[in-house]
Amino acid sequence: MNRIVNTRKYQMCTRCVMDTTDPDIIFDKKGVCNHCYTRDEKIKRSVISGTAGMDKLNKVIDKIRKDNKNKEYDCIIGVSGGVDSTFVAYKAIEYGLRPLAVHLDNGWDSELSIKNIENICRKLKIDLHTIVLDWDEFKDLQLAFLRASTPDSEIPSDHAIVASMLNTARMVKVKHIITGYNARTESHLPSAWSQGHFDWGYIKNVQKRFGSVHLETFPHLSFSNFLFNSYGFIDILNYLDYSKKDVMPILERELGWQYYGGKHCESIYTRWYQGYWLPKKFGYDKRKGHLSSLICSGETTRAEALEELAKPTYPLELQKEDTIYVIKKFDLTCDQLDAILHLPKKSYWDYASYGKIYKIPIYNGLQTVYRAIKSKSASN
């Protein structure tokens, strides 16, 4: 078994604030971590800044319009009420696109996120397609992940969001899905803290072992989606000189958007899971990854990040309120939740998954061939 055990001497990166709470972190002689180097390479591959970025974006927008000129919609966008997805919706209308907004309602939306989504769609005149998950199925799946004792309990929601956007795109016969992903501010993502987001095999196995309900309606990806990572998403924020702190006042002024207090805190469960459960059970503070991304992108300083990390993950009184809410919503007792909290810690690799294929040598060769063919096709 791959139990999560970290006996290393504590160390923090000298460039960002990632540290040895990531059991897989590596430092160079200067004390700079592997996440910073991975981030720099990712920026080189994915981000196009300035005039070149706008030229690339204009070509993308022109293609979207051309490919869908006779359709009701020309693209799909996901909306959560958060800053990134809201800005994407704002820019899509500014560029003259006709998006269909997709929102996944997993039963945990905060009142503020709902209000933000309503304001966005009303003021921008965007049609909204909401997918409501079957609560009995989803509750059972979330509890199964908690009982599996991995740090991956957000994976069911993330997986369903991607699958729902793909399903909706097929339903309205649109090929283009615009995301709110931004390599600059989402670069420090330790796999030990969460992985298997696109792995339906992993999700099925966890549910089979720890759940009690058959997943009949849960949106999911196929094995081929996982194998070839063939989603066709367009990350337009990588072509803009995007800064969260700069766009938030614009969204507040133009759309009546309101800030919800932290990254992904538009979801009550995400706020509780990232701010309470992960630190308490695993010692993982996801603010470190987020703040490290912002340090490297120049949106905050290392000193400011350290000052933020010295504070509680979020207000302690709200943590108590959220915990009571989670217990009630899951139909648990305090003792039952505490028993789950103290189960031995495990990882993604402790369970059957599609990801096991990564360890087969021929897989890397097939992926290389596939990428080469895809790249050649895109350039023609």
Q: Find the length of the chain.
A: 380
In a domain, 24, yes or no: no
Centre a 10 Å sphere on the Cβ of residue 373 and count the other Cβ atoms it contains: 10
DSSP classification of residue 177: E
Per-residue pLDDT of the chain (380 residues; tens, 9 = 90+): 444 555 679 999 999 999 999 999 999 999 999 999 999 999 999 999 999 999 999 999 999 999 988 899 999 999 999 899 999 999 999 999 999 999 999 999 988 899 999 999 999 999 999 999 999 999 999 999 999 999 999 999 999 999 999 999 999 999 899 999 999 888 999 999 999 898 999 999 999 999 999 999 999 998 777 665 555 799 999 999 888 889 999 999 999 998 876 555 678 999 999 999 999 999 999 999 999 999 999 999 999 999 999 999 999 999 999 999 999 999 999 999 999 999 999 999 999 988 877 665 655 555 555 555 555 554 44
DSSP classification of residue 127: E
What pLDDT sits at residue 372?
Answer: 58
If you count DSSP H runs as helices and E runs as strands, how many of each does the chain have, helices first?
A: 16, 5
| Burial state string for 93-127 with b = 16 or more CB within 10 A and e = fewer than 16 | eebebbbbbbbbebbbbbebbeebbebbbeebebe
Tokens of 161: 């969001």
Structural domain total, the chain: 1
In a domain, 1, yes or no: no
What pLDDT sits at residue 232?
Answer: 72
Q: What are phi and psi of 77, to 5 degrees?
A: -130, 145
In a domain, 33, yes or no: no
pTM of the full predicted structure? 0.88
User: DSSP labels for 38-91?
Assistant: HHHHHHHHH---HHHHHHHHHHHHHHHHHHTTTSS-SEEEE--SSHHHHHHHHH
What pLDDT sits at residue 79?
Answer: 94
In a domain, 373, yes or no: no
Amino acid at 310: A
In a domain, 36, yes or no: no
Residue with tokens 């367009």: 234
Q: What are phi and psi of 343, to 5 degrees?
A: -65, 150
In a domain, 310, yes or no: yes
Domain span at residue 213 reads 49-352
Query: Strand 177-178's sheet: what is its strand order?
Result: 127-132, 99-105, 75-78, 177-178, 233-234
Separation between Cα atoms, residue 364 and residue 377, nearest integer Å: 20
What pLDDT sits at residue 368?
Answer: 59
User: DSSP labels for 288-320?
Assistant: HHHHHHHHHTTSS-HHHHHHHHTS-SS-HHHHH
Q: What are phi and psi of 75, to 5 degrees?
A: -165, 165
What pLDDT sits at residue 46?
Answer: 92
In a domain, 58, yes or no: yes
Domain with 183 in it: what CATH number? Answer: 3.40.50.620
| Burial state string for 55-91 with b = 16 or more CB within 10 A and e = fewer than 16 | eebeebbeebbeebeeeebbbbbbbbbbbbbbbbbbb
Q: Is the dihedral of CA 5, 8, 10, 15 positive or negative?
A: negative
What pLDDT sits at residue 379?
Answer: 47
Separation between Cα atoms, residue 270 and residue 109, nearest integer Å: 10
In a domain, 372, yes or no: no
User: What residues are paired with 128 via a beta bridge?
Assistant: 101
* 83-94 vs 111-124: helix crossing angle, rounded to 10: 0
